[in-house]
């Protein structure tokens, strides 16, 4: 169980680990890796959660990451067959819609509710 004092400081990394746990329940192999390592672009900051059996990769950008930069990377990634979801704190959803409009991604908000990280439904930017 995560303590309330810990979850109050939830970060993109906390949300990514929570998502990885959810995916692990549904499939046998989930990979959590730095976003820069997944994309091959050193300046991209965040976490990628890969669920290979589902063909899904979820990107959890660092709060300082410019989301516009992810649009071109998403197009490249989609060409390799991955379905991409970008998960951001609910307060960044407006920014994410503007930055990723037309990109081959879905968006999902995440937020802290009591002692848990919660996820909203997917949206098309």
Percent of the chain clearing pLDDT 70 (strictly above): 93
pLDDT value, residue 26: 84
* pLDDT tens column, 77-112: 999 999 999 999 999 999 999 999 999 999 999 999
CA distance 111 to 30: 22
Average pLDDT, the chain: 90
- Do 60 and 38 meet the contact criterion of CB atoms below 8 Å apart? no
User: Count of residues for the chain?
Assistant: 125
β-strand pairing of 56-61 with 116-119: unpaired
| 3-state class (DSSP) for residue 60 | strand
The model's pTM: 0.90
- Do 71 and 102 meet the contact criterion of CB atoms below 8 Å apart? yes
């Amino acid at each position: 169980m995560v303590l309330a004092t810990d979850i109050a400081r939830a970060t993109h990394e906390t949300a990514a680990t929570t998502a990885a746990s959810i995916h692990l329940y549904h499939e046998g192999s989930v990979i959590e890796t730095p976003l820069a390592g997944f994309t091959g672009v050193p300046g991209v900051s965040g976490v990628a959660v890969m669920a290979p059996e589902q063909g899904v990769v979820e990107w959890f950008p660092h709060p300082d990451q410019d989301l516009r930069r992810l649009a071109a990377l998403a197009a490249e990634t989609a060409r390799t067959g991955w379905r991409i979801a970008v998960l951001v704190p609910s307060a960044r959803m407006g920014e994410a819609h503007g930055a990723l409009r037309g990109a081959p991604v879905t968006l999902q908000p995440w937020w802290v509710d009591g002692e848990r990280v919660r996820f909203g439904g997917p949206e098309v930017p």
